Structure formats: C-alpha cells, structure tokens
Amino acid sequence: MFAGEIRQLWRYPVKGLRGESLRSAVVDSEGLAGDRLLGLYEPGTDKSVWGGSHPKMMAWEAAHPAQCSNADSSAGDPVFYESGGAAWGLDDPGLPARLAETIDAPKGVEIRRTRGSAGRMLVVFEASLRKLSEQMGREIESARFRPNVVVEADLAPFAEYDLEPGMRIRLGDFDFTLQKPCERCVLPSWTPDGSNERDKELHRHIITELDNHFGIYVTTAERAVVRVGDPIAG
C-alpha cells in the first residue's frame, strides 16, 4: 500500500514535440484528452518522424489554445511554437516546410492525426527520478521521459515496478488500472529541449540497470478528472 499526491500534469498534443503543463486534465478510455493527437510523417508514407530520429523536434512546443472558461481545455487544434517563439497554426501552409527545415528532415514532413495515446497515461514517480539522478551523478529531468503525471509517493525508488499489473491505483477521486511498466526507447537519452545533445551513458544505464523501463502506464474505462495536488493511493 502507498499514498502520495500528484505534483505535475503534462500533455503532448503533437508526438515528439515538447508539451504543455496542466493544472487539471480529463482522462477516459482514449487516454488523456488532447494528448498525442498529431504526429509527423515522411510525406506519402507511414514512416513516423519522431524525436529519437529527429531530436531537434523537441525545440518546438505544442499547446492547445486556452479557453476562457477552462485554461486546460483540449478544444481546438494545437498551436505550434518554434524555438524562437514564433507561433504557427495547424492550417498555416508554411508550417510543414518550416518544421522540416528546423528539425533536419530533408524529405519533408506531413502532419497527420494519430490514434492518440492508445488509451493509456504515463506516470513517473519522483522517488525513482531522484534515485536515477543520484546514480548518474547529475540531475535527470522528468521531461526526458515525457510523463503525463509526476507523483510523489511513500514508495522506495523503483518499487513501482513490483506492483502487479491489473491492480487499482486511485488518482484523486477516480480509480485507474496499472497496465505495465514503460519500456524505453532511445528518446530519453536526448536533451528534452531540442539542443541535440545525447547522453549515451544514461541510455546504457536505463538498459542495464533498470531493465530498460522507467515509468508505468495506467488506464481507465470511465471519464475521470485529475488535478495537481490530488491525492493518490494504491
């Protein structure tokens, strides 16, 4: 058994781009609302242009436009922001070319709707992040792992991987189901700000010492609302 609270919420409207910090979020069987709605692809193909192959993507941000009644709304198309701060609408005809130019994608890019986040939400535990930073001898940012939820809980570092898949985890007033630990790709080894620097030592450590996992996936079949500061329990 454990208890704690939600410290951060994040949404990534476009796969591979930096996301937006939230105060609250709606989650249902499709995943966190507004998360990973769009992706980049090589024109005319199904080949994804993703952060592991094009780490300069993370110099860009994507965020849903704030709504007067709800700043965390997922309504409307995401807005794209390049590293210099210039904003681009999804329907701007110059956006694909500008993306391709700045992320080193010589074949160009197409922006397409995706299947979203596959109905799951990624949770990272702060105790494990602190322990990983201690092991590496430097701060490892949670942004490298692109979590939806960052929690503080009275669990030992990495103890979340001993939790049984299928067990109930309560976030705020709602029950979620633990699906499985997140198997990591090469993406966490790249700086999460698009500066195009790779930490190969971190990549090796995650593979050899953490069984190539960091964070856990949770799902829900019902509509839930989670907020920063909500209690968690399992």
Q: pLDDT exceeding 70 applies to what percent of the chain?
A: 100
| Mean pLDDT taken over the chain | 95
Tell me what pLDDT residue 118 has: 85
Domains of the chain: 3-10+118-233 (2.40.33.20), 33-113 (no CATH)
- pLDDT band for position 198 (cuts 50, 70, 90): very high
Q: pLDDT class for 73, splitting at 50, 70, 90?
A: confident
Which pLDDT score is estimated for 95?
Answer: 98
Q: How far is CA 211 from CA 20, 133, 184, 206, 228, in A?
A: 29, 17, 9, 7, 30
Q: Tell me which of 72 and 16 has the higher pLDDT.
A: 16
Tokens at residue 230, please? Answer: 């909500």
Dump pLDDT digits (tens) for 39-72: 999 999 999 999 999 999 999 999 999 877 787 8
Residue 9 φ/ψ, nearest 5 degrees:
-130, 140
Residue range 147-164: mean pLDDT, rounded: 97
Looking at residue 138, its pLDDT comes to 96
- Report the DSSP beta bridge partners of residue 113: 38
Among 144, 149, 99, 88, smallest CA distance to 124 is for 149
Please compute the mean of the pLDDT values over residues 7-29 and round it to a whole number: 96
Predicted pLDDT of residue 187 = 95
The pLDDT, as a whole number, for residue 72 is 87
The confidence band for 117, taking pLDDT boundaries of 50, 70 and 90, is confident
- Residue 116: the pLDDT is 77
* Whether the Cβ atoms of residue 230 and residue 3 lie closer than 8 Å to each other: no
Nearest to 215 by CA among 154, 129, 130: 129
**Residue 133, pLDDT score:** 98
pLDDT tops 90 at residue 217:
yes
Above 80 in pLDDT, residue 14?
A: yes
Range of weakest confidence among 114-123, 146-155, 209-218: 114-123
